[in-house]
A and B are shown apart, each in its own frame.
Chain A
Amino acid sequence: DAKTTQPPSMDCAEGRAANLPCNHSTISGNEYVYWYRQIHSQGPQYIIHGLKNNETNEMASLIITEDRKSSTLILPHATLRDTAVYYCIVRLDDKIIFGKGTRLHILP
């Protein structure tokens, strides 16, 4: 089983920020949080990762709570091309285990 919990689906209006939550209450101190997304019929795409500090790259921002038990992926200006399943992942027993993810719908 995955070590993360995500809502099964979310909607976001085009042009607005999409905030995708993830709970990982059993994360251990040295485990990174990774985010990937999968657009229909393609392989998952790496978005961002973090350990305990907030991170930002050209695709998104990652906010990790101080206790590291949850995180939020932020897509600052969602477009229709951001419609995908978003996976939040931490390592489990030396394996990268994908959960069910959040299906993000961008509404025009």
Chain B
Amino acid sequence: KAGVTQTPRYLIKTRGQQVTLSCSPISGHRSVSWYQQTPGQGLQFLFEYFSETQRNKGNFPGRFSGRQFSNSRSEMNVSTLELGDSALYLCASSVVTFGGPGGYTFGSGTRLTVV
């Protein structure tokens, strides 16, 4: 079966711009979580959506937002980009929240570079 698909794979943006990243979960998975990964901070939890509702949120500023559609696809948006937002953004899907017994399946990520 198809895995978790994230688009685009690479992105270069300028400070002050906004960006939207997309994640298509595995068919049948209703939970989508987003993580930011940087060399200094490692994997940091952004938020989790389940059935179009945000279930949990990490400690990120309001510039980071997300949403989930009725087909479980999810988008995350970062407004007013800062250099420090340069990172690998990972999406993970699961059947139920918190990964559940089967754990998360991660996508390959979107590498965002802010210049």
The segment from A13-21, A43-51, A65-73, A74-82 found at the interface with B is A43-51
Complex: chain B residue closest to A101, CB-CB = B42
**Do B103 and A94 touch across chains, with their CB atoms under 8 A apart?**
no
Q: Are A96 and B45 in contact (CB under 8 A)?
A: yes
Query: Which of B13-21, B66-74, B78-86, B94-102 faces chain A?
Result: B94-102
B106 touches A94 (CB 8 A): no
- Once the chains bind, are A95 and B101 in contact (CB under 8 Å)? no
- Shortest CB-to-CB span from A39 to chain B, Å, is 11
Q: Contact: A98 with B42, CB < 8 Å?
A: yes
Q: In the complex, are the beta carbons of A49 and B42 less than 8 A apart?
A: no
| Cβ A49 vs Cβ B56 within 8 A | no
Contacts of B104 in A (CB 8 A): 36, 44, 46, 96
Contact A95 B48, beta carbon cutoff 8 Å: yes
B24 beta carbon closer than 8 Å to chain A: no
A3 interfacial by beta-carbon distance below 8 Å: no
Q: Is the interface of A mostly helix, strand, loop or mixed?
A: loop
Is the C-beta of B87 less than 8 angstroms from some C-beta in chain A? no
Across-interface contacts of B33 in A (CB, < 8 A): 96
Q: Is B63 an interface residue (CB 8 A)?
A: no
B25 part of interface (Cβ distance < 8 Å): no
> Which A residues fall within an 8 A CB radius of B?
32, 34, 36, 42-46, 49, 87, 91, 93-101
Could you pull out 25 A-B pairs where Cβ atoms are within 8 angstroms? A32-B101, A34-B103, A36-B104, A42-B109, A43-B4, A43-B90, A43-B92, A44-B43, A44-B90, A44-B106, A46-B102, A46-B104, A46-B105, A49-B101, A87-B43, A91-B98, A93-B56, A94-B97, A95-B56, A95-B58, A96-B45, A96-B99, A96-B104, A98-B35, A98-B44
Which positions in B face A, CB cutoff 8 Å? 4, 33, 35, 42-45, 48, 55-56, 58, 90, 92, 97-99, 101-109
Instruction: Give 6 A-B pairs besides A49-B99, A49-B101 with Cβ atoms closer than 8 angstroms.
Output: A32-B101, A34-B99, A42-B109, A91-B98, A96-B45, A101-B42
